[in-house]
Amino acid sequence: MTTRKHFTIVHDGVAIPVSRGGRGRPLVLCPGLNSTQSDLHELAESLRRDHDVVTFDLRGHGLASAADRYTFETFLSDVTAVMAELHHLGLDAAPVLVGYSLGADLAVHYASEHPGTVDRLVLIDGANPVPEPFITEALLPELRAMWEDMVTQREAERGTARQVVLTAQEILDLNVEIDAVRSGILDRYRRIDRPISMIMSTSMAGDSGEGYAPRFNQNWRAGVEQLVREQPRISTTWLDADHALVFTHAPEIAQIIRATAGAVGQAGSMNTP
């Protein structure tokens, strides 16, 4: 067991809980929408053997306080506040920045706006420049019902490290916004001069041949293929899994991160500010 440090960052009226522990090159693990650092416990623990791992909760998630608004920009401000605090603490080296789902999009935007502050990016099933938006008028009723069910199921987690206080409408609004953000994310990639690795699910919406799943899965793969055509330097690993891969395939993901981050981190350490 490694010694764990816990501290809280207060910014924009929100308290963000941070945990740090492990040894090796610093690594920051950013959760996604509807996920918490507690949810990512297995992945974080696997990474702590080779990395000084920092985890945290986004506003309205886990042990972070609730907020009066939940937008892409406010979540990005949470990430920026955490990274600024780590800079003040004086890390041994620029950290590997790992993001899951929405966390991957936040990582890309952060790195594009703060050059030289990260060693590399590892993006897990997110930050995908999909050619078509996921949220369409035809699917709104079905998706709204799905998120309402999810919010109801998570009621039992209120007051715990796994709670999410966002309403179904707030989650829906954020997904619409994420579609818009991803429509312009290629420009963000063009601004990043650090190595980038992607770990993507082959069936992000599940393996059902019915409903919206086939279209979602095709859209997901098409987005990555477009990105790699434009940015061939980006390495991509596909896992036979759905969007929950970070929970179902944590050991495999940790192994991929260790292999890529370790090798490139050592090679690129001389260029790290």
Residue 272, pLDDT > 50, answer: no
Concatenating the DSSP letter of every residue in 155-172 gives GGGTTSTT-B---HHHHH
Residue 163, pLDDT > 80, answer: yes
State the pLDDT at residue 267. 31
Task: For Cα atoms 54, 121, 95, give the angle at the middle one, nearest 5 degrees.
Answer: 40
* 260 band by pLDDT with thresholds 50, 70 and 90: confident
Q: CA end-to-end span of the chain, whole Å?
A: 31
Tens digits of residue pLDDT in 219-249:
999 999 999 999 999 999 999 999 999 999 9
Count of Cβ atoms closer than 10 Å to residue 178 Cβ: 24
CB 119 within 8 A of CB 94: yes
State the pLDDT at residue 268. 32
Record the tokens describing residue 138, joined without a space. 């035809």
Reported for 260-266, long-range contacts at CB under 8 A and 24+ positions apart, including other chains, are 260/120, 260/122, 260/195, 260/197, 260/235, 261/25, 261/27, 261/51, 261/96, 261/119, 261/120, 261/122, 261/197, 262/25, 262/50, 264/119, 264/120, 264/195, 265/25, 265/93, 265/96, 265/119, 265/120
Tens digits of residue pLDDT in 34-60:
999 999 999 999 999 999 999 999 999
Give how far Cα 146 sits from Cα of 69, 140, 142, 151, 164, Å: 22, 10, 6, 9, 15
* 28 band by pLDDT with thresholds 50, 70 and 90: very high
Tens digits of residue pLDDT in 61-87:
999 999 999 999 999 999 999 999 999
CATH class of 4-268: alpha beta
Q: Which of 45-49, 56-60, 109-113, 207-211 has the lowest mean pLDDT?
A: 207-211
- Burial class, 32, CB count within 10 angstroms (exposed 0-12 / middle 13-18 / buried 19+): buried
Q: For residues 102 and 124, what is the distance between their CA atoms, to the nearest angstrom?
A: 9
DSSP tag of 207: S
Q: What is the mean pLDDT of the chain?
A: 93
Record the tokens describing residue 86, joined without a space. 């780590």
pLDDT, mean of residues 116-121: 96
What is the share, in percent, of the chain residues with pLDDT greater than 90? 90
